[in-house]
Structure formats: C-alpha cells, structure tokens
Amino acid sequence: MAAEPLSNGAAHQSVPGRYILPVHKRPSYSANGKVAPPMLPVVDLGGDDDGRIAEEIIRAGREFGFFQVVNHGVPEEVMGAMMRAAEEFFGLPANEKMAYYSTDGKQLPRFHTSVRNGAGEEFLYWRDCLKLGCHPPEWPDNPRGLGAALEPYTAAVMAAARRVLRLAAVGLGLGEEHFEGSLSGGAMMNVNHYPPCPDPSVTLGIAPHCDPGLVTVLMENVGGGLQMLVHDDGDAGGGGTMWVDVDAAPGALVLNFGHQMEVVSNGRLRSGEHRVVTGAHVARTSLASFVWPELWCTVAPAQELVLDAGEGPLYRPYSYGEFLGVYVAEAGDRDAVMAHFKH
C-alpha cells in the first residue's frame, strides 16, 4: 500500500511511531557542544574579479563543500513565483496531489513521501517531495502556474550554477569549460516539503547524505532545517565532526557540491554532507536544483589533477548511470556509495 504523504491530512498532533528514529539516528545524538560553529561562507558572484571569486569558491569547497551566493542573478520575483507555485502544490487537496504519486524512481514529475528504503531501515523520514524535470522540463499541470514559474527559475539557476562551475574549474587549474557539456547536461529539482512536526527531537526530514551530482542550488521559504557536517581538520584534536545549521542571508542561494565534484577534483573539493531537521511550528518548503551529468557520461578524476600533480586517481572511471544505480541501492549513505568507486 502507498504510504500516506504527511501533507495530505490534518496537522499531526503526535509523531506516528514509524517516524520515531532509533536513539543513535536522532538529531541531537552527534552534537558535540562546540561553542562557535563556523559561518557559512558568502561568495559574491557579482564582481568582475573572477580570480578572487574562484579562490573563494575553492576555499569554501575545500573546507565545507557548502557556501551561499549573493548577486547570483536569479531575479527576486522569479524566485518568489517559483516558491509560491511550489507551496501551492503542497496545499492542493490530497486527491489532486495523488494524481502524481508514484514509487517509480524514474518517473517525472513524481510526488512521493518517505517509504522504507532499500537499505532495510524500519523507520520513515518527515518529508514529502515533488520531483520535477528541469532539463528537459517536466512538471505537473496542477497548480496551473507551476510550469510558467519553473522555466525562468531553472534558466536563471542553471546560469548561476554554470558560472560557479566555470570558476571552480579555473580555481582547480582546469580548463574553464571542464564541467561544460555532458558533465553538467542534466538537471532536476526536489521540491521538498516538511510539515510541522510535533517532536523534532525524534525525527529527521532527510537522513545524512551527499547529493549525487556536481552542484546543488537550494532556495527555502523559511530558514532553519538544513544542517551541514563540518569536519574539524585543524591541528588541535582534529578528526571530529559536527552538524552546523546552514543559515543563508535573505535572498541568497545555498550551493553545495555533490559526489561528482569530489570525484572530478580528485578529492580537492568536498561533497558537502547534509541532513534536514524538522521544525515544530511552520511548514518548510525547499527547492533543491541538482546539476548533474548525463546518464551515459563517463566521470573520472580530471587527468590534469592526477598526472600533473603526480597523484594517483582516488576513484575509478564510471558512467553516471552506474553511479545513480549504486546511490539508490545504498540509500545515499556516503561511505557505502563511494566504496564502490574508490581505487
């Protein structure tokens, strides 16, 4: 039987048992009480000193795999229209949303909710999701304005992502066009929706994961929820990790690198591991636009980074289609996924 999406019924008064995580998976379990969490780096894409911008992207990519961009060129009204259409979808009557419900991961557009995953977990996550195609575009006819909002939003977000990818390539010492073409030829969007949760301490919206593609561009209607895993690589007792809230300035977009960036850069840039905690009071909607390779595209560490640097490649070549198959089978678990591709 289809799992009932969270946003279909009345507000929840208590957390149904199947959403209650075992203690070691709960959001507070790994908090280590560090006093001053680092700030999310801000990259201003508006300037013309591309060398400096590239350097900032590389620094943030090395340390966090996460940063926020301002002067990104996505008009405020285009962002607003896309978010309103997304919120409107989740406000539709249940039967209208269910017209798009499917558990077939290949279908687009697709409305889905948390179901027991292939990794055999017995519990569910506090999230509903509408998956949209961006390139090529695939959206539901209902609500009516969604397609009209999606096209300009996607075009502007892809332009910002391409600028970041060009700058990242330069910053890595690769040709400016390294990520262009089939390596960044696909795009889709998760429209995530997290209804208020009566007890955020026992649930998660999304389990810890890295995104599969090259880069993800995220916009949210309310702040609070997304957390990134920060590695304490410093001299003083390094090796620890902590979850840090990803707080972006109003109007900024959050970017994170995905697995493919870590592979192509041969580990120089980090794919930012993240998770989503739930909130008790407001429904949060987020738009995660994924830029990724075409399925047949071969992905491998860039030759220039391996040969010139005299390093061995950390990963073997593979097709992106193979990668996605493994990613789904391992339910996005970072180490389990990458074990398949390490040299």
Instruction: State both tokens at 204.
Output: 């998660």
Q: Considering the complex, what minimum distance in angstroms separates the CB of residue 101 from ligand OGA?
A: 18
**211 is an interface residue for ligand OGA by CB under 6 A:** yes
Subset of 207-226 contacting Ni ion (CB under 5 A): 211
**204 is an interface residue for ligand OGA by CB under 6 A:** no
Q: Considering the complex, what minimum distance in angstroms separates the CB of residue 306 from ligand OGA?
A: 29
Q: Considering the complex, what minimum distance in angstroms separates the CB of residue 257 from ligand OGA?
A: 13
Residue 271: name its binding partner from ligand OGA, Ni ion, none (Cβ under 5 to 8 Å by kind). Answer: none
Region at 128 (left for phi over 0; alpha for psi -120 to 50; beta for the rest): beta
Q: Which stretch binds ligand OGA (CB under 6 A): 87-95, 104-112, 171-179, 218-226?
A: 218-226
Nearer to ligand OGA, 128 or 211 (CB): 211
Q: According to CB under 6 A, which one of 161, 276, 283, 291 is a site residue for ligand OGA?
A: 276
Residue 108: name its binding partner from ligand OGA, Ni ion, none (Cβ under 5 to 8 Å by kind). Answer: none
Torsion of CA 306, 50, 214, 227, to 10 degrees: 110
- In this structure, the strands spanning 226-232 and 274-276 are antiparallel
Residue 74: name its binding partner from Ni ion, ligand OGA, none (Cβ under 5 to 8 Å by kind). Answer: none
Q: According to CB under 6 A, which one of 225, 258, 272, 301 is a site residue for ligand OGA?
A: 225
C-alpha R_g of the chain: 19
Nearer to ligand OGA, 54 or 150 (CB): 150
Q: Considering the complex, what minimum distance in angstroms separates the CB of residue 214 from ligand OGA?
A: 14
Nearer to ligand OGA, 266 or 273 (CB): 273
Q: Considering the complex, what minimum distance in angstroms separates the CB of residue 45 from ligand OGA?
A: 21
Nearer to ligand OGA, 15 or 86 (CB): 86
Subset of 233-272 contacting ligand OGA (CB under 6 A): none
Nearer to ligand OGA, 114 or 190 (CB): 190
Q: Considering the complex, what minimum distance in angstroms separates the CB of residue 128 from ligand OGA?
A: 11
User: How many residues form the binding site for Ni ion (CB under 5 A)?
Assistant: 1
Q: Considering the complex, what minimum distance in angstroms separates the CB of residue 34 from ligand OGA?
A: 22
Nearer to ligand OGA, 72 or 193 (CB): 193
Instruction: State both tokens at 72.
Output: 């990104």
Q: Could you list the residues that contact ligand OGA (CB under 6 A)?
A: 190, 192, 206, 211, 218, 225-226, 274, 276, 286, 288
Q: Could you list the residues that contact Ni ion (CB under 5 A)?
A: 211
